[in-house]
Structure formats: C-alpha cells, structure tokens
C-alpha cells in the first residue's frame, strides 16, 4: 500500500492512494492531504476485504465491449461520427482493460501519451470528455461504479477561433463556387447554420409561405435541442428559387439520385483556392455570419439563440467586433467639425458652410 501526491494544472496538490488485492489494482484520489489519502485508503481497503467493493455488484466488461454498446446506443446522436473517432483513440490506449481497472492515474497517463503524439489540447479534452460520458453511462447501465475522469484536470485550450471573411471576400468566394455549392455557402453566410444542419435540411423544415416571419426549423442539432432560425429576404428568395427547381427530392440541397448531400469538402476547398482564401474552413462561415451580425448592430442574446448555443459564453468572442466597428464608424467624422494643428493646443471650429472662425 502507498500514498503519493501529484501537482494539478492549477498548482493545487492531489493525494492518491494505491494498493492491490487478488490481482486487482486500486488507485484513486484520496484527498488534498496525505492524512486524508491514508484514511481514504484504509476505508477503501476495508470495503474490498469485506466484499463490499464497488464492483462486486456490477457486470464488469472490457472498455472495447462497452464502447460497442456505447456507440450502438448513440447512433442517432448528431455527434455519433465524432464519437467513433474519439472512442477509437481511447480503445487503442486501453485495449484489453476492464472498466473497473482504469483509474485517475491511468487517465493522467493517457493525457501524456496523447500529448507525446503532438495532439492539440482541445483534441485531448474532447477525448477525455467522451471517456467521462462513457463512464457516466456505464454507471447508469450497471457496468461501472465510479468515473476515473472525475478529479482529472482538463488541459488549457486557446481562445476559440474567430476567423471570418470580409464582405468582399464573401462575395468573391460565392462567385468562385460551382453552381450547386453557391446556395449552400449563401445559406451558411445568411443563417450561421452548421454544415450538417444545412445538408440534412428538408422542405418540411422550411417555413416561408403563409407565415409573417419566415424561418427554418432545425430538428437535429449538436445539443439535441430544436431551434428556429429566422430568414432574411435574401434567403426567402433563394429558397423559393430552389423549390421551383426541385420537384423530386425532399432535401433542400439534393445530391445524386435526389438523395441528400453528405460532403462538400473537395468542392469547397477548390472554391477557396480559386478565391485565394487561406486558412479557412466551412465552419468559419458560421463565424463570418456571427461577426457581421454583431458588427451590423445585432445583440449577443439574439445571436446565441440563432446559433443554438446553450450559454452566452460561446458568443463572448464576438461583442468586441461591435466596439471596433463603432470606432471605425465614429472615425468617419474626423475632421468634419474641427481642425486641430498637430502641435497646437486649441482647435479651430469649422462652420457648416465651410468658413473657419477662430
């Protein structure tokens, strides 16, 4: 048996205890002091020796087996494809391990292992969040009694990306798109919708006739909460034109054989090259919408609702653009009413007629 300490990212100290019994290793956070860790270790060891171990009443399975169950039961979630990628990395590291055999220390080692592969902090955090979600469901489904990710510090991430296009760049990009990509890009620029939300859009979700305020009803979202996206006049006109030319598909942006489009990656990258736009992703069209929405007088609360964010935290990156835009606009008045000598201390007042009086 042993206890040991580790420094966390916030410079606080966590004390762990570790012991082994009947071939099973136990390693958990015991507290913030050595004394707390020793007491927690004694209590935990007594539970194990008495047969009251957390895992005696659960159906312990390997992480690979549980991953199959996890992914199968979340097939309808919008994040399923992303979950598959995250789970593959986790299983690669913990292959052959039982759910009950993974502890906080193992998760800390996982962080180091991924960082050694030069993976970004954001990616590591998404993988840890996935593992945490898996264990929470494992507890709910009777395959685990504790979550080893609890108490593990996530890595610090840089501020969210706010790359966006100017009006001229946006118009140039649209001009460089092939015909069936143009309305998709225009929809992203005018609504701020995610690519998957756009490509999966059906005509039953489009409400532009017999309504006072036209809108799109987004049902399958990232956070599984339906939302309503208001439409400006440009979008209403675009959708009406698409509808008149689309009589054989239920999808607004149809692919081959009247089915839905699943990807526009290659043709979008080609359009970017033609337009001479570097370091840009399709998701940045969402940032472009949000940035210009704020710069033209939109408020953060309305933007949060349109984008479908659960809190204002995600739109905090945009309000400063409004301040910068106001500054540029107010600078347009420079010199209209006063003439200040570079080295003078007094200003000459300019009359509206153009004559100067001192």
Active site residues: 194, 222, 283, 286, 309, 318
Are residues 189 and 289 in contact, defined by beta-carbon separation less than 8 angstroms? yes
Cross-strand partners of 206? 216
Closest CA to 78 of 205, 196, 204: 196
**Secondary structure (3-state) at 318:** coil
Which helix H or strand E contains 198, and what residues bound it? Answer: helix 195-199
Are residues 303 and 317 in contact, defined by beta-carbon separation less than 8 angstroms? no
Are residues 4 and 16 in contact, defined by beta-carbon separation less than 8 angstroms? yes
Looking only at Cα atoms, what is the longest distance across the chain?
A: 98
Q: Strand order of the sheet with strand 347-350?
A: 338-340, 347-350, 356-357
Nearest-angstrom CA–CA distance, 183 and 189: 10
Round to the nearest angstrom and report the end-to-end CA distance of the chain. Answer: 89
Closest CA to 29 of 141, 96, 106: 106
Closest CA to 243 of 217, 207, 200: 207
Nearest-angstrom CA–CA distance, 176 and 182: 8
Torsion of CA 99, 101, 103, 109, to 10 degrees: -100
């Amino acid at each position: 048996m042993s206890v040991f300490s580790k420094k966390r990212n916030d410079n606080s100290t966590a004390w762990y205890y570790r012991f082994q019994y009947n071939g099973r290793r136990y390693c958990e956070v015991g507290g913030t002091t050595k004394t707390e860790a020793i007491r927690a270790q004694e209590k935990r060891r007594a539970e194990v020796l008495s047969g009251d171990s957390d895992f005696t009443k659960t159906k312990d399975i390997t992480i690979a087996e549980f991953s199959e169950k996890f992914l199968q039961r979340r097939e309808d979630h919008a994040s399923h494809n992303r979950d598959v990628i995250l789970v593959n990395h986790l299983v690669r590291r913990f292959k052959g391990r039982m759910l009950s055999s993974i502890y906080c220390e193992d998760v800390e080692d996982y962080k180091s292992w991924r960082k050694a592969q030069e993976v970004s902090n954001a990616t590591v955090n998404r993988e840890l969040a996935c593992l945490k979600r898996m264990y929470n469901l494992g507890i709910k489904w009777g395959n685990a009694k504790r979550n080893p990710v609890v108490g593990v510090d996530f890595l610090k991430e840089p501020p969210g990306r706010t790359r966006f296009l100017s009006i001229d760049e946006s118009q140039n990009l649209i001009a460089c798109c092939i015909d069936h990509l143009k309305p998709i890009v225009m929809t992203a620029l005018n609504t701020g919708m995610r690519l998957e939300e756009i490509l999966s859009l059906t005509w039953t979700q489009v409400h532009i006739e017999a309504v006072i305020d036209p809108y799109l009803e987004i049902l399958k979202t990232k956070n599984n909460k339906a939302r309503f996206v208001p439409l400006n006049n440009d979008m209403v006109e675009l959708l009406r034109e698409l509808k008149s030319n689309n009589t054989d598909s239920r999808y607004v942006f149809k692919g081959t054989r009247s089915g839905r489009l699943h990807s526009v990656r290659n043709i979008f990258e080609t359009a970017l090259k033609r337009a001479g736009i570097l370091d840009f992703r399709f998701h940045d069209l969402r940032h472009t919408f949000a940035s210009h929405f704020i710069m033209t007088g939109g408020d953060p609360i309305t933007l949060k609702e349109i984008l479908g964010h659960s809190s204002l935290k995600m739109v905090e990156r945009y309000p400063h653009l409004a301040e910068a835009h106001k500054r540029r606009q107010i600078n347009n008045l420079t010199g209209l009413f006063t003439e200040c000598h570079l080295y003078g201390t007094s200003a000459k007042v300019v009359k509206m007629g153009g004559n100067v009086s001192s």
